[in-house]
Amino acid sequence: MTIAVDFDGVIHAYRKGWQDGTIYDPPMPGALDGLRTLMAADAVFIFTTRDISQVASWLLERGFSVRVGHDGPFWNERGRLLITNQKLAATAYLDDRAVRFENWDQALAVLGADPPLNPHYSHETCGFRWHGRDGLDLPMRDGQPVCPRCELERTRAALDRVRKALGTTFMAGPNAVSVVRADAVRAALDEPKEQ
């Protein structure tokens, strides 16, 4: 087998994105041992859009045998990493940004032109964080995402205001009768304007 491995985000941690083109981060946890495991059984090449000589130097410093560039469509050599910026034939492509293609309907649904929300949504006011498409549908109001944590807190606050407006009879038994002023309940339900 031949395994193609992306560099940034798979081998190189790449926490700050491209920056100025330098390779600034340490390896991803387990990346170097994972490469060695693959290389023991299969031909492995690194594919990248970076300057391949920079990637080769980075891997050489970490004890890998590398070859820079290749003219053919295949890489079958075990024990040495090919560093290339070309897509060669491979049994599998290991990439942090891959979308597995099954059919066009599935691919377009995954890539969705209008996703429900940026997959790295955060709401600094309350600290809520969401890091990926996991089936969580965030509500929208006026075209903006509504933070679930803040929305729950707003709902709890409104319920507390209604309980206070109803007084002690709110938790009374099924036969309790209470006279409640409608204007007090309306005022209790009025949402505070700041959020």
Q: What is the CATH number of the domain that holds 63?
A: 3.40.50.1000
* 161 inside domain: yes
Domain total for the chain?
2
pLDDT of residue 120: 57
Burial letters for 118-132: b for 16+ Cβ neighbours within 10 Å, e otherwise? eeebebeeeebebee
Query: One digit per residue, pLDDT tens: the chain, 195 residues?
Result: 999 999 999 999 988 888 888 899 999 999 999 999 999 999 999 999 999 999 999 999 999 999 998 888 999 999 999 999 999 999 999 998 888 888 887 787 778 744 444 555 667 777 776 655 555 566 667 766 777 777 788 888 887 777 776 654 544 555 555 555 666 666 666 655 554
Q: Cα–Cα distance between 35 and 4 in angstroms, integer?
A: 11
Give me the domain span that covers residue 63.
Answer: 2-94
Residues in the chain: 195
> pLDDT value at position 117?
47
* Residue 128 · residue 147 · CB < 8 Å: yes
Residues 120 and 89 in one domain: no
Residue 99 lies in a domain: no
Asked if residue 108 belongs to a domain, the reply is no
Judge if 63 and 120 occupy the same domain. Answer: no
Residue 135: predicted pLDDT = 56
- Is 64 a domain residue? yes
Tokens of 65: 């045998």
Q: Both 35 and 82 in a single domain?
A: yes
Cα Rg of the chain (Å, integer): 28
11 and 66 share one domain: yes
| 86 and 44 within one domain | yes
Same domain? For 65 and 133 the reply is no
User: Cβ(37)–Cβ(49) under 8 Å?
Assistant: no
Q: Would the pTM count as exceeding 0.85?
A: no
